[in-house]
Amino acid sequence: MPKRSAVYLPSVFEKASEEDARACILTPEQGTSTEERWAKETPFLASDLGAFLKPSPASLLLDYGCGLGRLARELIAAHGCRVLGVDISKSMRQMASAYVNDERFSVVSKPVLAAMAAGGLRVDGAYAIWVFQHCVDPAEDVACVKSVLKTGGSLYVLNNVHAVVPSDHGWVDNGVDIIPILDREFDVIEVSQLPLACTTPAISRGSFIARLKKESVA
């Protein structure tokens, strides 16, 4: 009898507490804990995002898959920019507003973002941190980000090399490679890895950082 296909299960991102949300956003891995990952990754990523996206108080950034808004909070504090968070999880969106606790931050669902983009909203820069590997159709999510990014705008992606999609069979690799999708939709400026100073060797090897730019169509 053939094995039943896995069913996408986004409800795994609905969490009852900030502690549970943190553990979902940065899962404890061999050799490190959620707390250690949060403490080491967050300052590096906030600094790297600031250096690449170059936000100012006039900037509007898109935090795609914002979770609690951990990086939105850091970027707003450091640069005074505005950040629009997007997340499929209703509970994460609710907790993000309280966690960031700044009038320069707002958070919406993916359908609302799509409507805002159709209405003409454009952002100066965007980032997606540990997000696309969890998407059942990452090409659709990449296209959503691209649709709201200004021409010439920059996108920063930190992602697993392999997909880890939530399903009723657990976390599965659906075989979708995100790198060719990004390469097709954006100009690739640089691809690198998380430095060992802020993560474990296994996480560094199993992930990549892509710095990208949306150019005008020739």
Whichever domain contains 195, its CATH number is 3.40.50.150
pLDDT value of position 2? 41
In a domain, 4, yes or no: no
- Give φ, ψ of 35 to 5 degrees: -65, -40
In a domain, 40, yes or no: yes
In a domain, 204, yes or no: yes
Predicted confidence band of residue 146 (pLDDT cuts 50, 70, 90): very high
Distance CA 164, CA 157 (A): 16
**pLDDT > 90 fraction of the chain, expressed in percent and rounded:** 94
In a domain, 27, yes or no: yes
Distance CA 169, CA 182 (A): 27
pLDDT value of position 178? 96
Domain count across the chain: 1
In a domain, 176, yes or no: yes
Domain extent, residue 116, equals 10-213
Task: Give the β-pairing of 105-108 and 82-86.
Answer: parallel
Q: Which of 43, 31, 23 lies closest to 195, judged by CA?
A: 43
The pLDDT of 131-156, averaged and rounded, is 97
**pLDDT > 70 fraction of the chain, expressed in percent and rounded:** 97
Q: Is pLDDT of 218 > 60?
A: no
In a domain, 195, yes or no: yes
Instruction: Give the predicted TM-score (pTM) of the model.
Output: 0.95
In a domain, 1, yes or no: no
Distance CA 29, CA 9 (A): 22
pLDDT value of position 4? 59
pLDDT value of position 38? 98
In a domain, 137, yes or no: yes
Q: Using the structure block, give the residue that is written with the tokens 């060797």.
A: 201
Q: Which of 153, 141, 127 lies closest to 216, judged by CA?
A: 153
| 116 and 123 Cβ atoms separated by less than 8 Å | no
